[in-house]
Amino acid sequence: MALECVGGAVLSSILGALFQKLASPQVLDFFRGTKIDQKLRKDLENKLLSIQAVLDDAEKKQFGNMQVRDWLIKLKVAMLDVEDVLDEIQHSRLQVQPQSESQTCTCKVPNFFKSSPVTSFNKEINSSMKNVLDDLDDLASRMDNLGLKKPSDLVVGSGSGGKVPQSTSLVVESDICGRDGDKEIIINWLTSNTDNKLSILTIVGMGGLGKTTLAQLVYNDPRIVSKFDVKAWICVSEEFDVFNVSRAILDTITDSTDHGRELEIVQRRLKENLADKKFLLVLDDVWNESRPKWEAVQNALVCGAQGSRILVTTRSEEVASTMRSEKHRLGQLQEDYCWQLFAKHAFRDDNLPRDPVCSDIGMKILKKCKRLPLALKSMGSLLHNKPAWEWESVLKSEIWELKDSDIVPALALSYHHLPPHLKTCFAYCALFPKDYVFDKECLIQLWMAENFLNCHQCSTSPEEVGQQYFNDLLSRSFFQQSSIYKERFVFAEQKKKEGFVMHDLLNDLAKYVCGDIYFRLRVDQAKCTQKTTRHFSVSMITERYFDEFGTSCDTKKLRTFMPTRRRMNEDHWSWNCNMLIHELFSKFKFLRVLSLSHCLDIKELPDSVCNFKHLRSLDLSHTGIKKLPESTCSLYNLQILKLNYCRCLKELPSNLHELTNLHRLEFVNTEIIKVPPHLGKLKNLQVSMSSFNVGKRSEFTIQKFGELNLLHEILSFRELQNIENPSDALAADLKNKTRLVELEFKWNLHRNPDDSAKERDVIVIENLQPSKHLEKLSIRNYGGKQFPNWLSDNSLSNVVSLELNNCQSCQHLPSLGLLPFLKNLGISSLDGIVSIGADFHGNSSSSFPSLERLKFYDMEAWEKWECEAVTGAFPCLQYLDISKCPKLKGDLPEQLLPLRRLGIRKCKQLEASAPRALELELQDFGKLQLDWATLKKLSMGGHSMEALLLEKSDTLEELEIFCCPLLSEMFVIFCNCRMRDYGCDSLKTFPLDFFPTLRTLHLSGFRNLRMITQDHTHNHLEFLKIRKCPQLESLPGSMHMQLPSLKELRIDDCPRVESFPEGGLPSNLKEMRLYKCSSGLMASLKGALGDNPSLETLSIREQDAESFPDEGLLPLSLTCLTISGFRNLKKLDYKGLCQLSSLKKLILENCPNLQQLPEEGLPGSISYFTIGYSCPKLKQRCQNPGGEDWPKIAHIPTLHISTG
C-alpha cells in the first residue's frame, strides 16, 4: 500500500491522513463496488506521492520565495479538497447500526453497503475526483519551474520527520536573563515618591526583545505588590478603540464584564473604582499614535491616588510621545546573557553540551539570532538533545538568508524543523488574533475535532495525544505561560487559572505559512473571506455581529466557523447573527467545527443540522437554546457537544446515546433536569456537568449517575430530598469520582421534613461520601439531626473550604478542627446550635492548623463559644466575621498574632474583649473592649454607638464612623434617613489629635457634632469626608497649616458650615466635592483657594443658583468640573468659565432648566464633555445633526450625550 511505501518519511500530516484514507476499507470498497474508474484512485495516490517528494524543499524555500509560498498554500487547499472527497466516500459507506451494549473504541465500526450501480452520488464523486486531480496536475507541472528538488532518499528523523515525539518536560517561562538592570530601573521608578497623581513610563523596543516578559517580571515582583491598591494588566494590541480599552481596564479591575456598552457609563464606573486608590496599570503591546484617542482613555484614569502609575510596552517611540510618557529603551541582550539564555533551553539542566562541537556551532547561531531573546529561546529549544550534525545543518540553512521579510529567520527555522503534526497544530493558531489567551484543554479539543491528533491506538486517548503535542510546542517556546487571576466569590478566595499566549511574531509566522486558509474577519487585512479560506473566525472585540462572508468565499468548503474574543472560555459577552440561522446553516457542507457560542439569536436549531455529516464539534454554549432537535442524534461523526450556560435548556435528546463517536458532552450551569437514560452505555464518553437535579420520576436516576465518567471538577446535587431509597445514593459512587474537587449537597429550602425524612437524610448524606481528593464542600438545607461521620473521621483530609448552611436540625458541629488543610470555613443559619464547644475544635492542642477565614452568620440561637480551655487553636487565622448572632455572649478566641480583619455586626449582647486585628468593622456590636494598639483601619457605627469608644491611637490610619447603618461607605447611595433612631447624640466634638497617624477620616450622620478640634499639625491626613452632620458649624481650623497633606475634601449635607477656615485650604488639595452646601460656603470658595491653588477636580451638587459659575469663583488650575443637581440653573456664565484655561473635562448632570450653552461656546481647552441624565433642554440643542448648540461642541474629541 502507498502508506506502507512512504512509512515514516511522510512529510506532512495532511498527506499522511490522505494516504490512510486512500488505503481505508471504505474507500477501497467504494471503488470496487461502483463503476467509477479505479484508475482515478491510483492516479490520485501517485500524484500525491510525486508532490510529497518535493514538499520538504518547498517548505524550506517558502520563506524566501513568495511564489513557492503561494504554491504551497494552493497545494494545502487542494489536499483539503481531496480529503473532503474521501470523507464523503467514507461517510457514504457507513451504515448506522444499533448501539451495542459496550463501546470499546472511539472509532465507529464500519458496515458496508452492497455493490450498487452508478448513482447521482457516484457521479458527483467521479466529477470531484477529476477536479482535484486537475488541480494537482497543475500544481505538479509547476514544480520544476519553481526549482523544487526531490531528495535522493528520504531520511527518517531528519528535518521535519514524521515520528510522534515523546512527551517532553514542560519549560515554565519564568526565566529572563540580562535584564536585572532594566528591572531595577523600572521598579525604582514605580516605587519612588512623586507629587504627580499619575505617571507613565513606556518600555520601547523591537519585537522579540522581551518587553512583555520584563513588564511581567516587574508586575509580579513582591516589592510592587504591596505598593498599589489596584493592579491591572491589559493587553491592547494593534486595535486601539477607546471604548474597548476602557472597558477592558474596568473588566479587569472589577473581575466583571457587566458594565454596559456606553462609553460614558464605562468611564464613570472606571473612575468610581479607581477613585482614591493608588493603582498600577500595565498596557501591553500598544500601537496607538492618536493623541485624542489616548486622552479619551486617560480622562478616566486621573482620579486615582497620588503615585498611580501606568507602564506601557510598545515597538514605537511615537506611542510614547503620544502618551507624553517617560521612555525606557530596551536594548539587545549582551552576548554573555545571550549564551546563558540559549544554553538554558538547549542544554536544560546539563548546562554544558555533551558534544563540545555544539558550543562552537552554538556561538555562530547566536550571532544569527541578532541577540533577540525570543529567537534565542526558539533556537535553543529546537536544538535540545539534537546531535552535532543537526546543529551544523541548522547553522547552514538558507533560511538564515531571508531578506525583505517580516518573518524572523530563527523562528522560521524552528517551524521548519517541527514534525508535521506539530506544524499543523501550530498553523491552526493563525485562526486566533494576536495576544489571544489559549486554554490548553479547549485548544486540544479543537485539534481533535479537526482530526489533527494521531490516536489510532485505542490505548492512548485523544486528550493524552493532544497533551503530548501541546507540551512539545510549549517546550519549543511556541507557547508561553500566562497567569490569569480570576476572583472566586467563595470566601473571597483567589483561584489561579493557567492560560497560554503566543508571541505576536509567532502569530505572524503561523499566518504566513497558511495564508488565507485560516481567515480572521476584522483582523486580517483583507476585508472579506477569500476563495482559499477553509477555517473561518470572526472577531467580536470591536463589533459584535456577523452578517456575511463576502462573495469570493466558497462557504460550502469551510471546515471551521467560530467567533473569537480575547481568550478562550471568556464569559459575559454576546453577539448577533444578522442572517437567519437556517440561512447560515445552508451555506455549510463540510464543517468539522461549528461554534455559535454567545450568539443571542440562537433559540433553536433547524432540523437541517443533520446535514452536517462531517461535523465533529458543536458549541452552543451561552445561547438561549431551549431544545436540541432529535435530528442532532444523526450527527454520527460528532465527538464534542458543548451546551454550557444554556440557561433555557431543560433536557437533552432522548437518543443521544446513538452518537457512538461522542467523546465529550458538556452542560455546565444549565437547567437540564432530564438526561438521556442510556448515556452510560457510551463507555468512552466524558461528561462535564455542574449540577444534578434529583427528580422524583427522573429517567436518569442518581444510581445511573454512577455510570458516568465525570470530567468537571465542580458538581452540585440538588433536590436531594427526592431520594426515597438511601441505597440509591450509594450507587452514585461519589467515593470513586476522583476528579470531583468541589461538591455541593443541597436539599429544598422550603421543605419541612418530618422525623422519618430527617432520619433518611442522615443515611443519604452518609452514602454520598466523596472521595479523599475533595477540596471544597457545601452542605445546604440538610434536614438530618447530625452531620455525616466522614466529616469528622479524617476521610476528607484534603478539604480546604467548607460551608454549612441552613442545617436547622443539627445541634452539634462536627470536629472540624481536625481537618489539617482547611483554610475557609463558613457556618450560617444553624438554628439548632446553642453552644460551640471542644468537640468543634477536635480536642486538639493545635486545632484548625491551617484555617485562614472563619465566618459565622445568622446563628439565631447561638449563645456561647466555649473557647477558654482551647489553647493553640487558629494559628493561621487572618479573617474572622461574626454577623447576626443576637444571643451571643461571652468570650471570643484570643489570637497570638493580630487578625488582618475582624468584623462583628448585629451582635447586640456580645460583651467581650475583641481579638487583636489590623482592620476592624463594627456595627451594632454590644460592649466590646478594643485593643487599639494594632489597629490600622476602623469602621464602626449603628444603633447606640457611643463616643466613649474612642481612644487614642498611634497606629490608626483609616477611620470611618457612621451613625446610620446605611451611611457606611458601602451603602451611602441608599440612605435618605433623618437619623431619628440611631442615638448619635453624645459626640459633639471630634478630637483629631487622638489619631496623629490618620490618613483617611470619614464622619457620617452625627446630628450633634459641632466641631472637629486639633492642636497639632497632622502631616498624614490626606482624605477628609464629612457627611450629614446638621449641627456642624466649622471645619478644622487653620487647615492650610495643620493639614498640609490633605489631597481630597468632601463636604456633604452640612448646612451650617458657612465658610472655609481662615487662612484658606491646604496647598496640596487636588480634589474637592461639595454637596448640598450653604451659599455662604460657596461664596467663600474663592478666598479659601488663594492665588496659587492646586485644585484640579471640583464637583458641586445641589445648589440653587440660576447662573453659574460667577466670574473669578473657580480656580484657574481646574482640569475637571462637575455641575450636578442645579435644579434652577438656567445658564452657564461664560465669564466664569472662559478663565478656566486648564479645564479639560466638563460634566453637566441633572440640570433640567439649563437652556443652552454660552453664546461664546466653551473654553477651547475642553477635550471631554458630558451631558448626563436630566438635562432635556440642553440635550436637545446639542444633538447632531440639527442641534442649535452642536457647532459649539462639534470640535471636542470626546462627547457623551446621555440617552436617559
Q: Which residue, 1117, 1132, 1118, is CA-closest to 1171?
A: 1132
pLDDT, one tens digit per residue, over 765-789 is 999 999 999 999 999 999 999 999 9
Res. 350 pLDDT band, cuts 50 70 90: low
The helix or strand, by DSSP H or E, that contains position 854, with its residue range, turns out to be: strand 853-857
Is residue 620 pLDDT above 90, yes or no?
Answer: yes
The dihedral sign for the CA sequence 1054, 1060, 1061, 1065 = positive
Local structure of 273: helix, strand or coil: helix
Q: Determine which of 99-108, 944-953, 1041-1050 has the lowest per-residue pLDDT on average.
A: 99-108
- The whole-number pLDDT of residue 251 equals 84
- The whole-number pLDDT of residue 1146 equals 95
Mean per-residue pLDDT for 222-231? 84
Local structure of 531: helix, strand or coil: coil
Residues 6+ apart with CB under 8 A from 732: 702, 703, 705, 706, 767, 768
Please report the DSSP string for 611-659 in residue order: G-TT--EEE-TTS---B--GGGGG-TT--EEE-TT-TT--B--TTGGG-
Which backbone phi and psi does 22 adopt, to 5 degrees?
A: -60, -30
The helix or strand, by DSSP H or E, that contains position 776, with its residue range, turns out to be: strand 776-780
Res. 167 pLDDT band, cuts 50 70 90: very low
More confident residue, 40 or 1049: 1049
Q: Burial, 71: exposed, middle or buried (Cβ in 10 Å; 0-12, 13-18, 19+)?
A: buried
Is residue 970 pLDDT above 70, yes or no?
Answer: no
Is residue 1079 pLDDT above 50, yes or no?
Answer: yes
Q: Which residue, 448, 594, 613, is CA-closest to 96?
A: 613
What is the value of pTM for the model shown?
0.70
pLDDT, one tens digit per residue, over 833-845 is 999 988 898 866 6
CATH architecture designation of domain 188-329? 3-Layer(aba) Sandwich (3.40)
pLDDT, one tens digit per residue, over 28-47 is 888 776 666 678 888 888 88
- The whole-number pLDDT of residue 10 equals 30
The string over 479-509, giving b where at least 16 C-beta atoms fall within 10 Å of a residue's C-beta and e elsewhere, is: bbebeeeeeeeebeeeeeeebbbbbbbbbbb
Strands 989-991 and 1011-1013: parallel
- The whole-number pLDDT of residue 330 equals 86
Distance CA(747)–CA(805), nearest Å, equals 11
Beta-carbon neighbour count of residue 516 at 10 Å? 22
Per the DSSP assignment, residues forming a β-bridge with 198 are: 308
Cell of 681: 452505555
Per the DSSP assignment, residues forming a β-bridge with 520 are: 537
pLDDT, one tens digit per residue, over 419-471 is 888 999 999 999 999 889 999 999 999 999 999 988 765 567 888 899 999 99
pLDDT, one tens digit per residue, over 536-562 is 999 988 788 898 887 778 889 999 999
Q: Determine which of 669-678, 952-961, 1092-1101, 1137-1146 has the lowest per-residue pLDDT on average.
A: 669-678
Res. 153 pLDDT band, cuts 50 70 90: very low
Per the DSSP assignment, residues forming a β-bridge with 746 are: 780
Residue 51: how many CA atoms within 13 Å on its side-chain side?
29
Strands 437-438 and 494-501: antiparallel
Q: Burial, 425: exposed, middle or buried (Cβ in 10 Å; 0-12, 13-18, 19+)?
A: buried
Rg of the chain (C-alpha set): 35
Would you put residue 852 in left (φ > 0), alpha (ψ -120 to 50) or beta? alpha
- Tally the residues of the chain: 1204
Res. 258 pLDDT band, cuts 50 70 90: low
Do the Cβ atoms of 1150 and 1174 come closer than 8 Å?
Answer: yes
Do the Cβ atoms of 447 and 453 come closer than 8 Å?
Answer: yes
Q: Which residue, 734, 723, 668, is CA-closest to 701?
A: 723
Peptide bond into 965 cis (omega under 30): no
Distance CA(376)–CA(1035), nearest Å, equals 64
Q: Which residue, 391, 438, 454, 443, is CA-closest to 417?
A: 391
The helix or strand, by DSSP H or E, that contains position 536, with its residue range, turns out to be: strand 535-539
Peptide bond into 1109 cis (omega under 30): yes
Cell 447603618 -> residue? 965
Cell of 683: 463507555
Report H helices in 220-368: 222-225, 242-254, 263-274, 291-298, 317-322, 335-346, 357-368
Is residue 12 pLDDT above 60, yes or no?
Answer: no
- The whole-number pLDDT of residue 682 equals 86
Q: Determine which of 168-172, 549-553, 1056-1060 has the lowest per-residue pLDDT on average.
A: 168-172
pLDDT, one tens digit per residue, over 722-753 is 998 999 899 888 998 888 899 999 999 999 99
Per the DSSP assignment, residues forming a β-bridge with 716 are: 691, 744
